[in-house]
Structure 1
Amino acid sequence: MAVYDFKVNNYKDEEVGLDEYKGKVLLIVNTATKCGFTPQYDELQDLYEKYNSQGFEILDFPCNQFGAQAPGSNEEIHSFCDAKFGITFPMFSKIEVNGDEAHPLYKYLVEQKGFNGFDEGHELTSVLNEMLGKADPDFAKKPSIKWNFTKFLVDREGNVVARFEPTDNMGIVDEKVRELL
C-alpha cells in the first residue's frame, strides 16, 4: 500500500488517482479558510512556487472537522483561496480526516505517521493543548489529526516520511522538502 493507491476527488468533484503524482515529492495538507493557521496558505504557496519545477506538489484537502472552520462549498473555498492567497497548487474536495467517515487516504496517512506533539515554542500550542485536552485527556497518545494545516510529506516512491503539525515552523518543512528533492 502506498499513497499512489488512493483515489480522491478534486474540488470540481472529478475523480483523480494519486498515481498521477508518482515520482513527485508531495506535501498533503488538510486546510481550512477560517482558521488561525489559514495564513499558512501564503507560506505553502511560496513553497510550491519555489520547488514545483523540481517535482514538488502540494495536495490541499479542505476539512470542516475542526471548529467548523472550512465552511462553504468546494467552489467557494477554491475561489477564496485563489482570490486571497493566489493558490496555484491542486485543491481537492472537502473531506473528513478523522472518525468513521475519514477518507481512506487520511486513515492511511495517520497509520504511517502519528501525532508527536505540537511545537512548544509556538504561541498557539498552549491553546491547542488545553482545548484538545478538555475534549480528550489522552489526545496526545492518539495518531489522529489534531487540527487544520497538519501536513504529511511523501517521498518520490510514495512513502510517508514526515508529519508536521500546524505549529511546526515552515522553515523545517522547507528543509525536509529540499532534502527529498
Structure 2
Amino acid sequence: MNVYEFTMPLPDGSSKPLSDYEGQVLLIVNTASKCGFTPQYEGLEALHRAYQDKGFEVLGFPCNQFGAQEPGDAEEIKNFCSLTYDVTFPLSKKIAVNGEEADPLWKYLKSQQAGLMGSRAIKWNFTKFLVDRKGTVVARYGSMVKPEQLKADIEKLL
C-alpha cells in the first residue's frame, strides 16, 4: 500500500486520485488560516515553486480540529490563501486528521510515520509528511519545522 491508493477530497465535492501524482515527491500538510504557523504558507509555496518542475508537489489539507483555526468555508480558505500568500498548490476541502472522522489518507499517513515520542495523532496545524516517488511516506515533521528546513530532504528525493 502507498499514498497513490488514496484520493484528495476537493472543495467542489469531487476528488482527485493521488495516483495522478505517481512518480512525484509530495509534501502533504494539514493547514489552517488563523494559526500562529499560518505564515508557513509562504514557505510551502516557495518550495512548491522551487521544485515543481523537478517533480515535486505540495498538497494542502485545511483542518479545523486545532483551536478552530480554520473556520472558513472552501471559498474563504481559497481566497485567503491566494490573496495573502499567493498559494498555487492544490488545497483539499476541509478535512479531519484525527478521530473517527479522520480522512483515510491521514489515517494512513499517521500509521506510516509516528510523531514525537511515538505518538500517532496529529498534534497541531502544519504537520508535514514527505512522500518519495514510490508513494512511500519517508518522514514526518511537526509544526515547528519550517518549510525551508525541508529543502535538503526534498532534494535527496528528487
Give TM class, smaller chain: over 0.9
Task: Look up the match of 1:37.
Answer: 37
Give the unaligned 5+ runs of structure 2. Answer: none
One-letter identity of the residue aligned with 2:139: A
Task: State how far apart, in whole Å, the 1-side matches of 2:12 and 2:150 are.
Answer: 28
Tell me the amino acid that sits aligned with residue 43 of structure 1.
Answer: G
Give per-residue Cα distances to partners, 1:82-140, cap 9 Å, x unaligned. 00000000111000000011011000000000112xxxxxxxxxxxxxxxxxxxxxxx5
Contact between 2:41 and 2:87, CA under 8 Å: does it hold in 1?
yes
Indicate the residue corresponding to 1:170 in structure 2: 147
Among the aligned pairs, what percent are the same residue? Answer: 51
Shift of 1:7: 1.6
Do the aligned residues in 2 keep the contact of 1:28 with 1:153 (CA within 8 Å)?
yes
- Which sits farther off after the overlay, 164-173 or 72-81? 164-173
Counting only pairs closer than 5 Å after superposition, residues 75-86 of structure 1 correspond to structure 2 as: 75-86=75-86
Instruction: Say whether the 8 Å CA contact 1:11–1:78 is kept in structure 2.
Output: no
- Are residue 18 (structure 1) and residue 18 (structure 2) matched? yes
1:151 aligned partner: 128
Q: TM-score, normalised by structure 1?
A: 0.85
AA at the equivalent of 2:12:
K
Q: TM-score, normalization: structure 2?
A: 0.97
Determine if contact 2:27/2:129 at 8 Å carries over to the other structure: yes
Tell me the CA shift for residue 14 of structure 1: 1.6
1:163 and 1:171 mapped to 2: Cα distance? 15
Deviation at 1:45, TM superposition (A): 0.6
Q: Which 4+ residue blocks in structure 1 deviate beyond 3 angstroms?
A: none
What is the alpha-carbon root mean square deviation over aligned residues? 1.0
Q: Unpaired runs of 5+ in structure 1?
A: 117-139
Contact kept? 2:31, 2:60, Cα under 8 Å: yes
Secondary structure at the counterpart of residue 130 of structure 2 = strand
Indicate the structure (1 or 2) with the bigger Cα radius of gyration: 1
